[in-house]
Amino acid sequence: MNVKNITLADDLGKAIKAAAPGDRIVLAPGIYREKIEIYIPDIEIIGNSAADTRIVWNDYAKKLDERGVEYNTFRTYTAAVLAPGVTLKNITVENDALSPETKGQEVALTVVADGFTAENCRFISTQDTIFCGPLPDDLIERYDGFLKDPLRASGKMRQIFRDCMIAGNVDFIFGCGDALFDRCEIRSVYDVRGHGYTTAPAHAEKQDIGFVFNGCRFTCEDKVADGLIYLARPWRDYGKCSFINCDYGRHISPEGFDKWNDTQRDKTARFSEYGELIPGRVPWSCQLSEAEKERLLAAFK
């Protein structure tokens, strides 16, 4: 393994492009104000701590590019992981554009890759903080010629977030990847629009894992009102989320889940929980069996 030490005087993006598979890139503390893309497989990017090692950018969906075309959600990322086997440790990835009610979606991290791991990291934005790829099939087709081909990659993709903090307000964990959030803090930040949604899964019917939240804490800023945040709403039919032994703060709606506006996705969404049965949950969510809980967790071992 080659170790590359990076300081604020260096160009982080160039260092990543110059890396070889298996390299470790170690970041000195500080704020790296760059938009980065990772195409090299099996590399590690490691900071001193998430509190003092930050990668920050500020693109947003309604921003116009050099051709006068809006960025769209999927070009707003601060960091995009587009190669398998990448690991992030002890860093913050942040989109600090703010004001999504006027600027639109603001992605901090995009992962369109298999075998991704994040440990002791923070991912901070507002609307659409983390995209767990791939895209839904209809968007892969729609964005041909608009998004870079690696952002439109398809296939089975597994991602693990362990001991991380993820902050946002609307649909701030979304996509079609099979993703485990293990012992993470899922933090809702204040939004002037009121209601919020932590996850927006879009899994295809054939996918049987989806997003799995294991032992996570759902917290909020002081300004967030009681009971106005939903755990999930399905971005597409058959979106799948499971919540295992999670701790829900005062901000989480007793209903738990939303069907997404005037759709009929309550008939197809696959939302479930394991642990204490909470009164008031929507009738179209369900309780996981012990066997199903174990099967979901085993998928990430």
pTM of the model: 0.98
Domain definitions of the chain by residue range:
3-298
pLDDT computed for residue 284 by the predictor: 98
What tens digit of pLDDT does each residue of 10-48 get? 999 999 999 999 999 999 999 999 999 999 999 999 999
Q: Does the domain spanning 3-298 belong to CATH 2.160.20.10?
A: yes
What tens digit of pLDDT does each residue of 175-195 get? 999 999 999 999 999 999 999
Find the radius of gyration of the CA atoms of the chain. 18
Q: Between vectors from CA 70 to CA 67 and to CA 74, what angle results, nearest 5°?
A: 120
Q: Between vectors from CA 32 to CA 77 and to CA 56, what angle results, nearest 5°?
A: 35
Q: Which residue has the tokens 């923070």?
A: 122
Question: Long-range pairs for 30-33 at CB < 8 Å and ≥24 separation?
Answer: 30/54, 31/56, 32/8, 32/56, 33/57
Which pair of tokens denotes residue 57? Answer: 């950018």
Task: Give the pLDDT mean for 261-286.
Answer: 96
Which pair of tokens denotes residue 281? Answer: 């949950």
By CB atoms closer than 10 A (0-12, 13-18, 19+), residue 66 is exposed
Strand-pairing partners, residue 212, are: 180, 242
What tens digit of pLDDT does each residue of 66-118 get? 999 999 999 999 999 999 999 999 999 999 999 999 999 999 999 999 999 99
pLDDT computed for residue 1 by the predictor: 79
Which pair of tokens denotes residue 260? Answer: 């997404």
Cα–Cα distance for residue pair 119/65, rounded to 1 Å = 33
Cα–Cα distance for residue pair 153/150, rounded to 1 Å = 5
Pairing of strands 217-220, 185-188: parallel
What tens digit of pLDDT does each residue of 192-225 get? 999 999 999 999 999 999 999 999 999 999 999 9
Task: Give the pLDDT mean for 161-173.
Answer: 98
pLDDT at 276 over 90: no
